[in-house]
Amino acid sequence: MDDARFYIDGCWQDRTHAAGIAVVDPFTEEIIGHVAAGSSTDVDLAVAAARRAFEAFSQSSVEERLALLGRILALLEERAELFAQAIVAEMGAPIGFARTAHVPFGIAHVRAQMEVLQRYKFLSSDGSVAISKEPIGVCALITPWNWPLYQITAKVAPAIAAGCTIVLKPSELSPYSAQLFAQVMHDAGTPAGVFNLVGGRGEVVGASLAAHPDVDMISITGSTRAGVLVAQAAAVTVKRVVQELGGKSPNLFLDDADFERGVAKGVLAGMRNAGQSCSAPTRMLVPASRLAEVEALAQAAAAGITVGDPRDAKTSMGPIANAAQYARVQELIASGIEQGAKLVCGGLGRPAGLTRGYFAQPTVFSDVTPDMRVAQEEIFGPVLVIIPYRDEKEAIAIANDTVYGLGANVQSGDRERAQRVAMQLRAGQVHINYPAWNSHAPFGGFKRSGNGREYGIHGLEEYLETKAVLGY
């Protein structure tokens, strides 16, 4: 599975002479291939190609861009199984979850942008003032390892819809789905230079893109630390920076919630994708009087999770995606134990019967206080903390007691009460009673969870500049 190629200016370019980066299967802990480590020279070539292509592509018609997105959509659907298998190999997602979530949700972003593009007004007027929405230019897109295809399409689709040109830098830890995506872009007939892919490490490729004077916008999904570094490098050239970063999302159970149903769903929501989701509801806030009941329900739900070989259709949780993240998860589980949190289930090390792979135990802590590390730091693993509260006012205060503000959840049998509480939570997206995922609902964070929004019309507008024409 060695693939030392970059996609630049409409063709694959061999980089076998470059340093290689090992790709490790998190289930076996064995190297399964290598990809090329890009350089600043590769970035320069890709940005130059995107800059050349922008003049023509920015003037393309809505119909032309819709047709291109339609071809991309059709190819993604046709090759869905190839993407699912790649995601299993590169980051350990269970094959069932890859087929039912990773791939179809990624495809949904393309479909959503087509729906937005069909009705979006790029030119409007009010009296003598016209407002023109125009593509911002060359966009550098940096995507993470935890939802590889999903995050690529969430950025590429609106950039294409807007008429922008692209340089994609996928995570070097889960690169194969990005290589497959580049082939889709090629086979869909994307004009040369409109889409470019340069792989490699963030400190080289990501830094070069962030600082590049010919890049007009950079969009990054990743850790808050990485987002800060990108913003600092981008500030010199005053480019637009869109960041979707870390999270520590609360799941607030009001006293009239359906605990029997809601706690089990909350555990599974917090631990899906092995907990490696920035908006995962990993802080469960419950009335102190219901704590023992919630602990029993959470323990039963965690016990029903099948951890094992991600290629087995019966597996519901695979390994943590890489060694560094596995080590961090273990460190934070240890801190919870050391700081006196009650260990309801799980703990350190692998689940029983697993002797290899970056497997973490589905872990639930209870009686957690807001000052503990497990209550404040993003763990990014299958670790849920249960925090008791005295009354609604304190529950809202605890929910907002975080540097993050990406997602939040409210559970209540009273919709008006849930709505009132939701409006007091400082988060970019709030879910009431586990609604269905919506590819048009804007997604992004308050505070250190980032700036800007993705998905739907709000995602499209991040890639547009606003021009006012007076006397129109």
Instruction: Quote the CA–CA distance of 219 and 44 in Å, as a whole number.
Output: 18
Residue 278: active-site member: yes
For the beta carbon of residue 41, count every other beta carbon within 10 angstroms: 11
Contact 200, 37 (CB under 8 A): yes
Annotated catalytic, 139? no
Cα 356 to Cα 172: distance, rounded to the nearest angstrom: 22
d(CA 23, CA 31): 6
Instruction: Give 260: exposed, middle or buried? Use CB within 10 Å, 0-12, 13-18, 19+.
Output: exposed
Other residues' Cβ atoms within 10 Å of the Cβ of residue 264: 16
String of DSSP letters for 282-305:
-EEEEEGGGHHHHHHHHHHHHHT-
Sequence length of the chain is 472
- Which backbone phi and psi does 165 adopt, to 5 degrees? -110, 160
Greatest Cα pair distance, the chain, in angstroms, is 74
Catalytic residue among 139, 164, 172, 278: 278
Count of beta carbons in the 10 Å neighbourhood of residue 441: 14
| Nearest in space to 133 (alpha carbons), one of 112, 166, 154, 163 | 163
DSSP, collapsed to helix, strand or coil, labels residue 279 as: coil
Query: Contact 57/163 with Cβ under 8 angstroms?
Result: yes
Distances (CA, A) of 357 to 92, 300, 310, 353, 378: 10, 25, 11, 11, 22
Query: What is the helix (H) or strand (E) element at residue 128, kind and residue range?
Result: none
Which one-letter amino acid corresponds to residue 217?
A: M
Per-residue DSSP letter, 272:
G
The HSE-up count of residue 259 (CA atoms within 13 Å, CB side) is: 19
Tokens of 112: 């959503």
* Residues 469 and 270: beta-carbon distance below 8 Å: no
Question: From CA 398, how far away is CA 365, in angstroms rounded?
Answer: 16
Catalytic residue chosen out of the listed positions 244, 378, 454, 462 = 244
Half-sphere exposure of 172 (CA within 13 A, CB side): 20
Report which of 208, 160, 163 is spatially closest to residue 184, judged by C-alpha positions: 160
Residues designated as active site? 244, 278
